[in-house]
Amino acid sequence: MTTPPPSAADPELKTGDTAFDAYAEAMSEEGTPLLGHLVLYSIFDGKVTRDDLVRWFTELDLDEALLPPPVRHVDAFERVTGPDGVRVTYPLDDPSATGPASKRGRRRGRNELLKTATLMVRPVRRDGGQIVRHVVREIRDEERTSLEYDTRIAICTFDRDNSENSPEGAGALTIEEDRSAIAKLPEAEQTTVRQMLTDINEAFRHRCTYLTSDKLRSVVRRYVEHLSAIRVRPTGGVYFVHRQHADVLGSLRELVGRFGEGSHLVRVPLPDQEEMREMIIMAFTTKAKDELDELARDIAAAQRSGKADEARKLYERFTALQEATNEHSDLLSTSLDDTRAALQLVKVQLGGLLATATDEG
């Protein structure tokens, strides 16, 4: 079967809670001293095309420079047939019981080890015209001993569209069953194999048409960070954004609400109080220290290796951090002296690397 390309996690905050609504309403009243907002978001799979996103960015007056690039068919193929793509595991005595729970509660003889089959995709070759991968079948027992391996149940081929006016990464998926190999399997397994091939086909079409939740999540994260956000939680997912960006956050909230059921962005107003300032300042200085430590290590590594060509990229990282420190110092009305002192030490270290680069030049 051939498929042409189609045309065209964070905890939820219950905003319906009466106490929270009252708090948010009070903080939004004119004249209320507001430091900024904590921003949380959760995004789930929906049916959002890039054209939808472009239209919504325009309607909401969002910066179109932060739109994701067009979806590439080759990326969809790589993801669907890659290590994290479509894969099916099932017990041999019940091929319809797929998934991780399929091994639990299976009945077997006293000394008998449960045997499971796994259908997976393996790379074969790639060139300027095609990417070829095989669907293989592996049988193992509970001790992870490989007992049997079928090298080709089906062939998945991505034919690149190299015509002059085709978009970058364009192409089509073709799935060819190895009928003789499949015919040797029990009838129940044949059904499971063909369902997997259908799943690959449908997953490819879906990824060629719609932006995944991961892609939409990265769009929101990139936009929030573009607003000079400070990551409040070390693992990410909760950001502080200064009050000057309140209107943009409102547009982002509307945007995420259009992604589909379950997706939402929440803005928690933070009062301009000393305790709130201390929390945000601590979050920024902790993040800045981590970045400066990493930058110092990378500068030292560049000096040891003699890679003077890395100096420009390291200098850009230093400049970005210095600008962020100056900006947040102004917005939070604080000196951030410790961070500035650390910046000065890294600046001296970077100066030595730049001097080396100049001498070599």
Predicted structure pTM score: 0.70
Both 288 and 200 in one domain: the answer is no
What is the DSSP secondary structure assignment for residue 244, as one 8-state letter? G
Beta-bridged to residue 238, according to DSSP, are 40
Neighbours of 180 (CB within 10 A): 7
Of 180, 209, 238, the last residue of a domain is 209
Domain containing 316 equals 277-360
Can you give the pLDDT of all 361 residues of the chain as single tens digits?
555 555 444 444 444 455 545 545 555 555 557 888 999 999 998 899 999 999 999 999 999 999 999 999 999 999 999 999 999 998 887 777 665 544 444 445 455 567 888 999 999 999 999 999 999 999 887 666 656 777 799 999 999 999 999 999 999 999 999 999 999 998 999 999 999 999 999 999 999 999 999 999 999 999 998 998 888 876 667 888 988 899 999 999 999 999 988 999 999 998 877 777 777 777 777 777 777 778 788 878 877 776 656 777 777 777 777 777 666 565 565 555 665 665 666 666 656 655 554 445 4
Contacts 24+ apart (CB under 8 A), 206-211: 207/71, 207/75, 207/76, 207/79, 207/80, 208/5, 208/6, 208/71, 208/73, 208/76, 209/6, 209/8, 209/49, 209/71, 210/46, 210/47, 210/48, 210/49, 211/48, 211/49, 211/50, 211/53, 211/68, 211/71
- Tell me, yes or no, whether 135 and 235 share the same domain: no
Q: Are residues 90 and 63 in the same domain?
A: no
Number of folded domains in the chain? 3
Displacement of CA 238 from its chain's centroid (Å) = 16
